[in-house]
Structure 1
Amino acid sequence: MTDASGRQGSPSNVRHLADAIRKVRLAEAERADVVVELRDAERARLDLLADELRGVFAEVPEGDDQFVAQIDTGSQPRFWIDMTSFVSMARDRRTYRFLKDTRLGRTVILETADLDDMADCVMHYVAERIIERDRALEGDWLLRRAAAQAETPRRERRRIGREPAVEAPLAVTPAAASAPTGWIVAAFLAGILVGVVALLGYAWVHVGD
């Protein structure tokens, strides 16, 4: 076999693209197998944690639906506790990391390689969330009760305002009580005065005659 310059090349110097493609594909397959194995290892450790906490989530009060308690199947497995907190594995695939998303960013609640320590931490977190929910519900009930108590006097005032008003009897003042008596006395005196004037007039007429 001769190359482009006319020299005969050895078989070991020959390059084939098909061989290169085959080697690249084998390397990618090996890396994929490693990724799958690592993901499966993470999932297995999270399954162990989920098994430890199965009894805890079974005791959550009925009607409290704030907890998820499920492992997702994404590229990085996560054991979701609720909508904002989850447990995942660190880079070493042996350390549990309990993380929570807040308005200030993501915070680490606990990071440990001990399964029991992580299970205890998650259990206390669940208990705190249940107590917080109960307090919130109790606060809402107290607010509704206070609003109802404040509304009752307003309803009573509106009801009283719609009732027909009863006219109070007029109080008889001393001046009003003495008004008829004063009129009678004045009329009596006027009658006497008229009679005196009439007598004087009659006497004057007869004396003049």
Structure 2
Amino acid sequence: MSEAPDSSSESGPVRLREALRQARIEAADRTGVVVDLRDAEVARLEILNDALDPLFAEIPNHIDLFDRGISQGETPRLWIDVVAHVVMGRDKRQYRFVQDTRNGRIVLAESHDLGGIVKAVTDYVARRMVERERAFAVARVQAPVLGETPRRRGGFWPFVLGFVFGVLSLFGVAFYASLQQI
């Protein structure tokens, strides 16, 4: 009878050990799948990045609006500029082109097709360049108006005249005060 409890006490830890081992194997498999999915996302974003090379080659060097690159965080992203990026959708096959705004994130384009996203990014880049040109045009028009200062005549003689008038006023007040005391 004493052997029965010993066999059950040994079978308990063996089953738990086996269960822990199996749980660790499953967790490693899931981690491997997650890493594989992330690698697949990065690979798709790199393909898109390569497809965008001709577009960014056409942008003049003096325009520094765009800073393209892939960030590899928890969610890999292909950044187009400071506020717009491409991220993979939930199915990891759909490209999602989004822009961060004051009112939140907006989706500019979604597509499984690489060409559709390249077109959307091209349109976005063109709009940003037009906005930049308009901002510079407005700045050039307003710069002379804002920078103009009215011409002043020499400031020395008005100062001297004001100083003399102030001194004479003080003497006049002092003289009037002395007459009042007498």
1:67-106 alignment, distance < 5 Å: 67-106=66-105
CA distance in 2 between counterparts of 1:33 and 1:147 reads 61
CA distance in 1 between counterparts of 2:108 and 2:4 reads 67
Taking only aligned residues, the RMSD between alpha carbons, in angstroms, comes to 2.4
CA distance in 2 between counterparts of 1:2 and 1:145 reads 101
Instruction: Return the offset for 1:75.
Output: 1.6
1:29 partner amino acid:
A
Instruction: Return the offset for 1:3.
Output: 3.5
The residue aligned with 1:127 is 126
Q: 1:121-143 deviations in whole A, cap 9, x for unaligned?
A: 10110111011111111211111
SS at match of 2:4: coil
Alignment CA distance shift 1:3-1:65 (3 Å): farther
Q: How many percent identity over aligned positions? A: 41
The residue aligned with 1:108 is 107
1:1-209 alignment, distance < 5 Å: 2-4=3-5, 14-16=12-14, 17-148=16-147, 150-151=148-149, 154-155=150-151, 158-159=152-153
SS at match of 1:93: coil
The residue aligned with 1:174 is none
1:135 partner amino acid:
R
CA distance in 2 between counterparts of 1:97 and 1:3 reads 62
CA distance in 1 between counterparts of 2:105 and 2:146 reads 38
CA distance in 1 between counterparts of 2:3 and 2:60 reads 83
Unaligned regions of 5+ residues in structure 2, if any? 159-182
SS at match of 1:82: coil
CA distance in 2 between counterparts of 1:85 and 1:56 reads 16
CA distance in 2 between counterparts of 1:147 and 1:71 reads 41
Scaled by the length of structure 2, what TM-score is found? Answer: 0.76
Q: Who wins on radius of gyration, i.e. which is larger?
A: 1
CA distance in 2 between counterparts of 1:50 and 1:68 reads 12
Scaled by the length of structure 1, what TM-score is found? Answer: 0.67
The residue aligned with 1:169 is none
